[in-house]
A and B are shown apart, each in its own frame.
Chain A
Amino acid sequence: MKTASLSLRNLTRRPGRTWALVLLTGFLSLSLFAGSVVVMSLQSGLNSLEARLGADLIVVPKAAQSKASFQNIFLQGTVGAFYMDAELLDEIAATEGVAKAAPQTFLATLKADCCSSRLQVIGFDQQADFTVQPWIVQSSSRELGPMEVAVGSSISAGVGESIRIYQKSCPVVARLSATGTGLDTAVYCSMETMKTLLAAAEEMGVSHKVTADNSDGVISAVYVKVAEGADIDQVASSLASHPSWKTAVVQTRSMITGVSDGLAGVSSAVKVLIGAVWALAFVILLVVFALLMNERRREFAVLRLIGASRRKLARVILTETGLVCLLGGCLGVAVGAALVFPFTALIESTLNLPFLTPSWGRILLIAALSLAGTVLMGMLSSARTAWKLSRVDTGSILREGN
């Protein structure tokens, strides 16, 4: 306790010096904490994208410009719609190597009154579906009834409220958990509801028909699960090459690869940045501690004179550094949290990558590790000085400057 109180007094009675060191170490923990949270959020964004995709192949009309436009809806929450004849579903399902085929129909609203923006509505077949349902089940155990919708996590309408789409009131029965992808800004409904909405849209002059004698209506995409043992590439090429379908096939694997490439780029940039900050900070701290301690040589010599052992002297120095780093570390984590968590939506749209903040437990873990790292770093950089100082001959320091 004696050394701790001496260290504490040294710190509180030199506030300028102490705060400068606190700020310096604060940068360390800020960079480590914020950087790690960003990298981990990108990783969990990718994981949730993988989990949400669920299908091996997605068949979309050629008009969807093959991948690009579909991918934008999926990843960035761009609002858009494209249609093909619903009858294609049966033919796709009958194709060799296809185990499951589930249709989805997209609808882009005009400005919906809930959100002062356009909405992406996605209708899915509740019987055939294998991609959306498992996700909805997490928040609502029952099927969506007529006109009922589930909303993505970015839409603020709560369960029990309703949103109006093309003049139709749709009660919200479930809010889905966040995925960090464009799916968070969409509204989900059954195929029956979608038919009603399409009709309502048509009444307002927005047409969705692809052929004049379309009886079963339209679909936008077919999610395909390839049969076990079948070659995904082969199934993809047979689906894409049908002469009269005018469809394109998106391989989810390549979509995920694309995202994970982007993620790898950002992650390594962040890691390099953290590394650079730490290397620089280590050198700066090393120099700063060396200078500060040198300035206090006499003070430490006096402590030796009145009976502080080398070990005790080193403990005084390390306690001081430890306390400074602890304070700086906490400050850095707090600032990092204030910089990252409120701005996740901004980061997501800037990076163009799925971004899902990790659970609180993991965030606390990152915070604790950043703190520990900062303290350790500070201790390490002052350890050399502490060691050197405690070896120096007390007598000669006391004679200096006389």
Chain B
Amino acid sequence: MKKVSIPACFILVLSLLLAVGCATFLGPCAHEDGSVGACFWAGRALTGIGAVLAVQAVMALAVRSGRIRLGVYLSMLPAALFGLLTPGTLFSLCGMASMRCRAITQPAGMVLSGIIFVLACAGAVLDLKKNRKENP
């Protein structure tokens, strides 16, 4: 009997939120003069990371082998970590904490990536346990 891996469902939803959100309602604002800054590129990077994680979540949902799924979960960890570090650490954002980019994009990106990281850990641990039970 094949069961759907629950963490992967949540990861799929959250990573889509990250990808779509950072390009739209969670994204940094454009400058008045139309130029773009670090915030804009950080938002783009988060969209990319969200898309990658979403694809990985789909793979985790699609594969039948618990071992392969374990691998997919493990590969999500560095991607989620990258998402966690993107706004503020790898990309310096604008200097004013009250700006949209610092008030919305950064915290949303970090919280979503953080939760995805935790869920991927949970999924990996669950699969590890299951694998051990089935192939001791």
Interface residues of A (CB under 8 A from B): 77, 111, 114-117, 119, 153-157, 184-185, 338-339, 342-343, 345-346, 348-349
Contact between A116 and B97 (Cβ–Cβ < 8 Å)?
no
Query: Which residues does chain A contribute within 8 Å of B95, judged by CB atoms?
Result: 114-117, 155-157
Contact A346–B115 (Cβ < 8 Å): no
Residue of B nearest to A76 (CB): B98
Contact call B114/A338, Cβ cutoff below 8 A: yes
Given contacts A342-B111, A345-B103, contact A116 B98 (CB under 8 A): no
Q: In the complex, which of the residues A114, A185, A338, A339 contacts B97, with contact meaning CB atoms closer than 8 Å?
A: A185
Q: How far is the CB of A149 from chain B (nearest CB, A)?
A: 13
Bound-state Cα–Cα, A185 to B102, Å: 13
CB distance B98 to A349 under 8 Å? yes
What 10 A-B pairs come out closest when comparing CB atoms?
A: A342-B107, A154-B97, A345-B103, A115-B95, A116-B94, A156-B95, A115-B96, A346-B103, A114-B95, A117-B96
Complex partner residue of A154 from B96, B108, B115, CB under 8 angstroms: B96
Instruction: Give the number of A-B contacts (CB < 8 Å).
Output: 59
Q: How far is the CB of A347 from chain B (nearest CB, A)?
A: 9
B3 interface residue (CB < 8 Å to A): no
Interface range on chain B: under 10, 10 to 19, 20 to 34, or 35 or more? 20 to 34
Which A residue sits closest to B92, measured CB to CB? Answer: A156
Residue B110 interfacial (CB < 8 Å):
yes
> What residues make up the interface of B, taking CB atoms closer than 8 Å to A?
31-32, 37, 39, 94-99, 102-104, 106-108, 110-111, 114-115
Given contacts A116-B31, A116-B37, A116-B39, contact A345 B98 (CB under 8 A): yes
Say yes or no: B97 contacts A117, CB within 8 Å.
Answer: no
Docked complex Cα distance between A297 and B98 (Å) = 57
A185 to B39, CA, bound (A): 18
| Inter-chain contacts of A185 with B (CB < 8 A) | 96-98
Least Cβ–Cβ distance between A194 and chain B, in angstroms: 21
**The residue from A116, A119, A184, A343 contacting B107, defined by CB atoms under 8 A apart:** A343
18 interchain pairs, CB-CB under 8 A: A77-B98, A111-B31, A115-B96, A116-B94, A116-B96, A116-B99, A117-B94, A117-B95, A155-B95, A185-B96, A185-B97, A185-B98, A342-B106, A342-B107, A343-B103, A345-B102, A348-B98, A349-B98
Query: What chain B residues lie within 8 Å of A153 (beta carbons)?
Result: 97
